[in-house]
Amino acid sequence: MPTYRVRCVLPFTTNLPRDVAVNTFHVTRITALSGSELTAVMGEFANFYKAYTAPAGAPIGAWIGSTVSRVPSACRIEVYDLADTEPRPIIAQSTFTLPNPASGTNLPLEVAGVLSFRGTYPAGAVRARRRGRVFIGPLRTEAVNGVIAQPTLAAGFQTTMLTAAKNLHTGIPAAAPLAFWSIWSRKDNLPVEVIGGWTDDATDTQRRRGQAATARTLWP
């Protein structure tokens, strides 16, 4: 079964190649996707950030901090065929514009919310190989509860992530019949169909998204 790696690349306003937030997904189908189907599937991933909203809520892109570029078509989606020999070429790509951020200020670049997803758990299967996750961020202050001693992810942001995940799960096979959102197990070298997932109220960190220090203070 052909499996495709889909990289959603969100560049920062610095325009430096190293300054990006990347989320990686996988899509599998019994037969190869045609060019038009690849385009349709990429549209579903763009919608994950800009169109899939919780009831009366904002899309994921609105929760992401202003550090990420809102220049038209700045964000991109890159698709790779895992059957290709490394280094794999991009077989399809598209761009999209991230929605403007909501109110609030930027949290540190490393702060993110985690969207987890999983396949079935057959008897004897190693469950860790059948789970995946993406780190949504960097975030704005409205993505966390600021009125309690221990900051947690706001319920509205959690609901938005779950809604986007549900719509992506149904949107992929609608865009390309018999295709499905999958998890790629490097150990098993096999795809696992995503059947559901979860989020929680704990913040997480992606240290690779942090910025380098611009000043140093010495002591004594």
pLDDT tens string 34-48? 999 999 999 999 999
Residue with more model confidence, 214 or 108: 108
Residue 220 lies in a domain: no
Residue 171 lies in a domain: yes
Does the pLDDT value for residue 55 go beyond 80? no
pTM of the model: 0.95
Residue 216 lies in a domain: no
Residue 17 lies in a domain: yes
The per-residue pLDDT for range 145-190, each reduced to its tens digit, is 976 678 899 999 999 999 999 999 999 999 999 999 999 999 999 9
Give CA separation, 122 vs 27, 30, 82, 119, 127, in Å. Answer: 21, 21, 25, 9, 9
pLDDT band at 103 (very low <50, low <70, confident <90, very high): confident
Distance CA 130, CA 115 (A): 15
Residue 175 lies in a domain: yes
Helix (H, G, I), strand (E, B) or coil at 76: strand
- How many domains in the chain? 1
Give CA separation, 191 vs 2, 15, 123, 126, 178, in Å. Answer: 9, 34, 17, 14, 14
Does the pLDDT value for residue 11 go beyond 90? yes
Which residue range(s) make up the domain with 76? 3-209
Nearest alpha carbon to residue 4 among 23, 26, 22, 24: 26
pLDDT at 159: 94
Residue 109 lies in a domain: yes
pLDDT band at 121 (very low <50, low <70, confident <90, very high): very high
pLDDT at 147: 65
